[in-house]
Amino acid sequence: MALEEGARSCLLRFRQKLEEDIKPTYLMDHMISDGVMTVDEEERIRTQLTRKDQAGALIELLLRKDNLAYISFYNALVREAYDDLASLLHRDLPHISLNPHKGSSDGSATYVQSMLSEGGIPQRPVVFVSRPELVNRAREKLYRLQKEPGWITVFGMAGSGKSVLAAEAVRDHGIIEDCFPGGVHWLSIGQVDKPDLLVKVQSLCFRLEQSLDSQPLHRPPNSLDEAKERLRFLMLRRYPRSLLILDDIWDSTVLKVFDIHCRVLLTTRNRSLTDSVSGAKHEVEVESGLDENKALEILALYTRINLQALPEEARSIVRECKGSPLVVSLIGALLREKPNRWRYYLCQLQMKQFKRIRKSSSYDYDALDQAMAASIEVLPDEHRDLYKDLTVLQKDVKIPAKVLSVLWDLEPEEVEDILEEFVNKSLLFVDNNSKPYLYYLHDLQIDFLVIIFNPANMVLCCCVCAYLGFLC
Ligand SMILES: Nc1ncnc2c1ncn2[C@@H]1O[C@H](COP(=O)(O)OP(=O)(O)O)[C@@H](O)[C@H]1O
Ligand SMILES: [Mg+2]
């Protein structure tokens, strides 16, 4: 895939300006971590005596490279805040499907964006690093669903990035247009019993019926069998060639409801869930850890320090976190708040011994325990106590600030400030697609809270549940 003509002439046109302004060392770090430039190539450029000569050599190299390198260079400019230069290059960004968010025209980006919002696909995390090889593997499987219905199981350990990957895989114009012109529809499942599952499928049916611009056909289905039939009708007749994304499945019986000859991608920790359903089956394994450079990039982006300038503790932290995207992100968020605590957090990770979250688990939670505890420790005492109250939240339930205002007996504004603090520290997640904003915990965070703090106050629990019942 040679460099497109438009992109080449753009580089030539703005060559002088680029040479005058850019600091190649910073940009090259990003390009290396995107895999579009080798360390040897970087070394050769660094041998040039002046910054300007280095910049010239980098442009020269780019002209001999391909579209991906151009896009990576553009992304590096954005990340290093060369906004003016990036906008010069933007117009001629090649359109390739692996870089959906930088589509060649605003029209295609808007089309993808509106499909994703309609389907409830989560946004990217605040700090995001690309995992191109993994995303490619997932997209390759999605293309297999183009011709015939079937199942894709995205599996891996907790916090390895399965949900982020599922969302990223469909954030692509080609995938939507070629494979799922009927849309992509996200449903968070989690550990549910039958009544919970029924409520979730009801809300999916309602969403699908509403998007057809018609009044929902009937009353909500009132059994799982009825819900399955309703869904079968909707998927086959009204939404042919669309994709259901079922996030965080624990139990294969859940899949029976969706065993209706449609296209499904599911995320799970358990790779054998689809054994009992019919149709074509595909798998994508998500490695539990990021490679070192990607994990370092997360730390660099959180702390706004250049990759090469990260302190020596950074590598050890990544090692202690075992590259877990979740844990590295938690530590990154902590360091953003307390930038001089690299050594301190490293020591905490190395020294602290917390109970495992689940004794009989095959997953290795050690690093996570430690990161979670470290996150909670930096909260002021009174906020730490409030955070412990979040043990009453259930998995995959999102609540507005108002509920916590009742639970904590605090003014809504004060609650919003506290929640903002939790979100900034990656202790809580916010869905800002909805109004009012909805808050929720990552399911690992709930596990951790339940084990460490053991929710005793059932009165609080009932109070929140009553509200949630009201809200659902
Ligand atoms: N590609 C990524 N870039 C940056 N952070 C990531 C990435 N993937 C995952 N994370 C971080 O890890 C957390 C857990 O990811 P998630 O996909 O929810 O894990 P899983 O579904 O496997 O439990 C995210 O909230 C985010 O902070
Ligand atoms: Mg998940």
- Which backbone phi and psi does 290 adopt, to 5 degrees? -75, 155
Q: Is residue 102 part of a domain?
A: no
Q: Is residue 313 part of a domain?
A: yes
Q: Which of the ligands is closest to the CA of residue 125?
A: 1
Q: Would you state the pLDDT for residue 460?
A: 41
Q: Would you state the pLDDT for residue 92?
A: 81
Average pLDDT for 18-37: 87
Q: Report the CATH number that the domain containing residue 186 is assigned in CATH.
A: 3.40.50.300
Residue identifier of the C-alpha nearest atom 23 of ligand 1: 159
Residue 134 shares a structural domain with residue 255: yes
The SS3 assignment for 180 reads coil
Q: Which residues pair with 268 in a beta bridge?
A: 155, 249
Q: Would you state the pLDDT for residue 453?
A: 65
Residue 309 pLDDT more than 90? yes
CA pair distance 346, 354, nearest whole angstrom: 15
Question: For a pLDDT cut of 70, what percent of the chain falls above it?
Answer: 82
Amino acid identity of residue 343, one-letter, is: R
C-alpha of residue 82 to centroid of ligand 2, in Å: 34
Q: Report the CATH number that the domain containing residue 304 is assigned in CATH.
A: 1.10.8.430
Average pLDDT for 397-425: 88
For residues 156 and 231, the model is more confident at 231
Q: Which of 63-67, 106-110, 430-434 has the lowest mean pLDDT?
A: 106-110
Read off the pLDDT band of 82 (50, 70, 90).
confident
Residue 197 shares a structural domain with residue 315: no
User: Which ranges of 186-278 does DSSP label H, i.e. alpha helix?
Assistant: 194-211, 224-233, 252-257
Domain boundary pick from 343, 376, 409 = 376
Report how far apart, in Å, the C-alpha atoms of 376 and of each of 43, 105, 325, 339 are: 42, 44, 18, 17
Residue 315 pLDDT more than 90? yes
Residue 359 shares a structural domain with residue 429: no
Q: Would you state the pLDDT for residue 223?
A: 94
Q: How far is CA 61 from the centre of its chain?
A: 32
Average pLDDT for 453-460: 46
pLDDT digits (tens, 9 = 90+) for 125-154: 878 999 999 999 999 999 999 989 999 999
Q: Is residue 100 part of a domain?
A: no
Residue 317 shares a structural domain with residue 449: no
Residue identifier of the C-alpha nearest atom 16 of ligand 1: 161
Q: Report the CATH number that the domain containing residue 393 is assigned in CATH.
A: 1.10.10.10
Residue 225 shares a structural domain with residue 156: yes
Residue 400 shares a structural domain with residue 267: no
Atom from ligand 1 closest to the CA of residue 247: 21
Report how far apart, in Å, the C-alpha atoms of 53 and of each of 21, 42, 45 are: 12, 13, 8
Q: Would you state the pLDDT for residue 4?
A: 85
Q: How many CB atoms lie within 10 A of CB 50?
A: 8
Residue 463 pLDDT more than 70? no
Range of the structural domain that residue 251 is part of: 109-285
Q: Would you state the pLDDT for residue 277?
A: 95
Task: Give whichever of 104-108, 326-330, 445-449 has the largest mean pLDDT.
Answer: 326-330
Residue 301 pLDDT more than 80? yes
Q: 42-49 long-range CB contacts below 8 Å, 24 or more apart?
A: none
Task: Give yes or no for a contact between 278 and 268, defined as CB atoms under 8 angstroms apart.
Answer: no
Residue bearing tokens 């394994």? 285
Average pLDDT for 117-131: 86
Q: Which two tokens stand for residue 319?
A: 């090692």
Q: Is residue 153 part of a domain?
A: yes
Task: Give whichever of 11-15, 102-106, 113-117 has the largest mean pLDDT.
Answer: 11-15
Q: Which of the ligands is closest to the CA of residue 333?
A: 1
Residue 198 shares a structural domain with residue 266: yes
CA pair distance 118, 204, nearest whole angstrom: 12
Q: Which two tokens stand for residue 385?
A: 């106590």
Domain boundary pick from 228, 254, 285 = 285
Q: Which of the ligands is closest to the CA of residue 287?
A: 1
Residue 308 pLDDT more than 80? yes
pLDDT digits (tens, 9 = 90+) for 334-374: 888 889 989 988 887 776 433 322 222 333 344 466 656 76
Residue 244 pLDDT more than 90? yes
Residue 298 shares a structural domain with residue 260: no
C-alpha of residue 17 to centroid of ligand 2, in Å: 44
Q: Which of 84-88, 107-111, 366-370 has the lowest mean pLDDT?
A: 366-370
Q: Which of 132-141, 186-195, 239-248 has the lowest mean pLDDT?
A: 186-195
C-alpha of residue 18 to centroid of ligand 1, in Å: 34
Q: Would you state the pLDDT for residue 443?
A: 60
Q: How far is CA 38 from the centre of its chain?
A: 27
Q: Would you state the pLDDT for residue 472?
A: 26
Domain boundary pick from 330, 356, 376 = 376
Q: Would you state the pLDDT for residue 77?
A: 85
C-alpha of residue 324 to centroid of ligand 1, in Å: 8
Helices 83-90 & 67-79 angle (0-180, nearest 10)? 150
Q: Would you state the pLDDT for residue 369?
A: 64
Residue 123 shares a structural domain with residue 257: yes
Q: Which of the ligands is closest to the CA of residue 326?
A: 1
Q: 348-353 long-range CB contacts below 8 Å, 24 or more apart?
A: 348/373, 348/374, 349/317, 349/320, 349/321, 349/374, 350/316, 350/320
Task: Give whichever of 18-32, 203-217, 423-437 has the largest mean pLDDT.
Answer: 18-32
Q: Is residue 303 part of a domain?
A: yes
SS (H, E, C) 399-444: EEHHHHHHHHCCCHHHHHHHHHHHHHCCCCEEECCCCCCEEECCHH
Q: Would you state the pLDDT for residue 213?
A: 58
The SS3 assignment for 62 reads helix
Residues with CB under 6 A from ligand 1: 125, 127-129, 131, 156, 158-164, 267, 298, 325-326, 329
pTM of the entire predicted model: 0.62
Q: Which mutation among 33, 127, 326 tests ligand 1's pocket best, with the greatest number of atoms within 8 A of CB?
A: 326
C-alpha of residue 285 to centroid of ligand 1, in Å: 14
Q: Is residue 101 part of a domain?
A: no
How many domains does the chain contain in total? 4
Q: Is residue 414 part of a domain?
A: yes
Q: Would you state the pLDDT for residue 78?
A: 77
Residue 143 shares a structural domain with residue 199: yes
Average pLDDT for 312-325: 88
Residue 121 shares a structural domain with residue 171: yes
Average pLDDT for 447-471: 48
C-alpha of residue 129 to centroid of ligand 1, in Å: 10
Atom from ligand 1 closest to the CA of residue 157: 22
Read off the pLDDT band of 421 (50, 70, 90).
confident
Residue 464 pLDDT more than 50? no
Write the DSSP symbol of residue 234: I
Question: For a pLDDT cut of 90, what percent of the chain falls above it?
Answer: 40
Q: Which residues pair with 186 in a beta bridge?
A: 245
Q: Would you state the pLDDT for residue 147?
A: 87
Residue 137 shares a structural domain with residue 226: yes
Residue bearing tokens 């624990």? 250
